[in-house]
Amino acid sequence: MARATFYAHFRDKEDLLARVTADLLDGLSERLAPAVADSAIGFTGKPVLEMLRHAREERALYRIVLRGDGDGKLLQMFTDACAKATADEFRARAERNAVQPRIDPDLLARVWVGE
Highest mean pLDDT among 5-9, 45-49, 59-63: 59-63
pLDDT tens digits, 64-111 = 898 887 688 999 999 999 999 999 989 988 898 899 999 999 999 999
- What pLDDT score was predicted for residue 104? 96
Asked whether residue 59 carries a pLDDT value surpassing 70, the answer given is yes
Give the up-direction half-sphere exposure of residue 99: CA atoms within 13 A in the CB hemisphere.
11
- What pLDDT score was predicted for residue 45? 80
Asked whether residue 38 carries a pLDDT value surpassing 70, the answer given is no
- What pLDDT score was predicted for residue 75? 92
Question: Average pLDDT of the chain?
Answer: 87
Contact 79, 113 (CB under 8 A): yes
Question: Which pTM value belongs to this model?
Answer: 0.80
pLDDT > 90: percent of the chain: 49
- What pLDDT score was predicted for residue 100? 94
Contact 94, 47 (CB under 8 A): no
Got the DSSP string for 20-75? Answer: HHHHHHHHHHHHHHHHHHHTTTS--SHHHHHHHHHHHHTHHHHHHHHHT-TTSHHH
